[in-house]
Amino acid sequence: MTGTISMADVEAAARTLRGRADSTPLVPSLFPGADLWLKLEICQPIGAFKLRGALNAVAATDAPAVTCCSTGNHGRGVAWAARAAGKRAVICMSALVPQAKVDGIRALGAEVRITGRSQDDAQAEVERLVAEEGLAEISPFDDPLVIAGQATVGAEMMAQKPDLRTILVPLSGGGLAAGVALAAKAADPAVRVIGVTMDRGAAMHDSLRAGQPVAVEEVPSLADSLGGGIGMRNRLSFPMCRDLLDDVVLVSEGEIYAAMQALFHRDGLVAEGGSVVGLAALMAGKVVAEGPVGTILTGRNVDMAQFTRVVTGQDVQLGDVTVTGVPYAA
């Protein structure tokens, strides 16, 4: 177990978030194949769990201006938290970030910088702003305050349904998975926590297999929120995921497509591709579910044109990859 973040930090984060970004519902899914429970982080005011870590980290800085790189939702969380705290925010993103997410961040009053084609390019601009202009960086996942904020999701799930046997966590930089695993296992050491991500550009999966952070090629995905590397100098989320996750499972674009459709038509919920990877893994039989299973619907900030194509069964073009359309069948 890592000594860097304790449950005292998670409890302190929960106090900071109280009444602002906590207590999202945990509801039963109509999924027929398992006793599945959905943690509705899509109900957060910014439409994603990232508000938790962002509020906790922004509350701890006295800097008048903050910056971060983001695949969209972290930037939205930092923009929201900075506006609430009366601070300036500069959000750095790559050209792969969907326009809907860029617009959402601007609507919160933050400045947006689009640089390059990858999270690494966006991160280089963040480092320049920190070094040359003195902005405080809020890391999307490799920061103890951010991880403690995301960990409150796991603490709430175990308080809401203490008999959960397995939790499936959408995984990118690993801040959410690290925090949820820490908090859930503190409540019940027997609970299994499994990270799930897309099979193209799976940075944490490849890094865990290599035993150290590795770079991945960033490609367009239905799970755009899960893109990007884990940082070659990762300090916290990598060792925590290594020590705390029971497994990491990969899903294909077609499996993500089917899960977005099923969640919409069956459960009546709008969720991003990056949100539904846990459901996708269950539907594909890649996770064996014994007893109650929880998964986190991490965000609802879809590109509506693409989402409409998915739920109506049309083809979706992702760079040079075509996901072949399949009509929803109950």
Ligand X SMILES: *Cc1c(COP(=O)(O)O)cnc(C)c1O
User: Which residues of the chain form contacts with ligand X (CB under 6 A)?
Assistant: 48, 50, 73-74, 140-141, 170-177, 225-226, 272, 274-275, 298-299
The answer to whether the CB of 208 falls within 8 A of the CB of 175 is: no
Q: Which is nearer to ligand X, 4 or 324 (CB)?
A: 4
| Nearest residue (CB) to ligand X, 34 versus 146 | 146
State how far the Cα of 265 lies from the Cα of 275, in Å rounded to an integer.
16
Closest by alpha carbon to 149, among 285, 294, 50, 272? 50
As measured in angstroms, the least distance from the Cβ of 273 to ligand X is: 9
Nearby residues of 217 by Cβ (< 8 Å), 6 or more positions away: 201
Between 121 and 272, name the residue whose CB sits nearer to ligand X.
272
Residue 73 CB, nearest approach to ligand X (Å) = 3
Q: How far is the CB of 236 from ligand X (least distance, A)?
A: 11
Residue 16 CA to residue 53 CA, distance in Å, equals 10
Q: Which is nearer to ligand X, 225 or 234 (CB)?
A: 225
Q: Which is nearer to ligand X, 173 or 294 (CB)?
A: 173
To ligand X, the closest distance from the beta carbon of 120 in angstroms equals 15
Opening angle at CA 205, ends 204 and 207, nearest 5 = 60
Closest residue by Cα to residue 267 from 45, 47, 42: 42
Beta carbon nearer to ligand X, 241 or 293? 241
- Give 305's contacts (C-beta < 8 A, 6+ positions apart): none
Q: Can you tell me the distance from the alpha carbon of 205 to that of 238, in angstroms, rounded to the nearest whole number?
A: 10
Q: Is 132 exposed, middle or buried (0-12, 13-18, 19+ CB in 10 A)?
A: exposed
* Helix 73-85, helix 50-59: angle, nearest 10: 40
| Closest CB 302 distance from ligand X, rounded Å | 10
Question: Shortest Cβ contact with ligand X: which residue?
Answer: 299
Minimum distance between the CB of residue 278 and ligand X, rounded to whole angstroms?
Answer: 10
Please report, for residues 65, 85, 125, 192, the alpha-carbon distance to residue 133 in angstroms, rounded to integers and kept in the order given.
Answer: 9, 20, 11, 44
Of 123 and 172, nearer to ligand X (C-beta) is 172
State the minimum distance, in angstroms, from the CB of residue 329 to ligand X.
Answer: 26
